[in-house]
Amino acid sequence: MIYRDIINEVLRRLREDQMTDWSGNLSSANGPTDYHKMVGDFVNDAKYEVEHYWDWQVLRVTSAISTSDGVMSYSLLGAGRDFKVLDVIDTSTGTILNQMSSADINTRVFPTANIAKGEPSSYGFNGIDDNLDMVVDVWPLPNDTRRINFNVVKPQDKLQLAETHCYVNEQAVILGAYMRALAERGEDGGTQVSVAAGEYVNILSRAVQIDAGKTQMEMTWYAN
């Protein structure tokens, strides 16, 4: 479902006029009213909440770094800043890299005269670069070129254009935005808001159950 249709679904529940001919960017378009734009903001708020509720399959992407001999720090392109790491793997060997704190890495790389070189076995995040991409340090210091994949859960960018599709469960986003719009109005002394909140939670729970069926092995724990 596209951004415009989601907003219209919320507006219809609020008994407000829908936007039938809007196109382009909501914030700069002339047709939508300030109220329409506020509902659009509620949609993005609800989308953000839904995205961070579960490790949705539709939000999983792979970003990679390519190591160079003697280089410790790399920019993780394409992942943005708001992501969750699922696993990090050296594609050359199949080795899973473990996460380390920057402090732990620093104790191993300084003084630089004694730094170990070899196949990276650990990584740690170290701020952002000038392009706002996360910086990754690897240890030991690489001694060759290899591809290291970062499998992450990355939320979709904020919805702005009318015809942008929403990745996560649209019904949950609609009800989450509707709940927020009702709360903003203060209708029915909060009774209707409570009903909408209950429906939102139920839909979100069902969506998680369905998505969890695609990743059953992630929910299996083994004791050694």
What is the per-residue pLDDT across 139-194, written as a single tens digit (0 to 9) for each?
Answer: 999 999 999 999 999 999 999 999 999 999 999 999 999 999 999 988 555 678 99
State residue 56's pLDDT score.
97
Q: Name the band, by pLDDT with cuts 50, 70 and 90, for residue 102.
A: confident
Q: Which domain holds residue 172?
A: 3-52+157-213
Bridge partner residues of 64 (DSSP): 149
As given in the structure block, the two tokens for residue 53 are 């509720």
Q: Identify whether residues 163 and 92 lie together within a single domain.
A: no
Residue 158 exposed, middle or buried by CB count within 10 Å (0-12, 13-18, 19+): middle
What is the pLDDT averaged over residues 64-84?
A: 94
Bridge partner residues of 73 (DSSP): 137
Instruction: Write down which residue in 153, 174, 195 finishes a domain.
Output: 153
Nearest Cα to Cα of residue 41 among 176, 197, 163 = 176
Q: Name the band, by pLDDT with cuts 50, 70 and 90, for residue 130.
A: very high
Instruction: Write down which residue in 103, 121, 153 finishes a domain.
Output: 153
Nearest Cα to Cα of residue 53 among 175, 141, 160 = 175
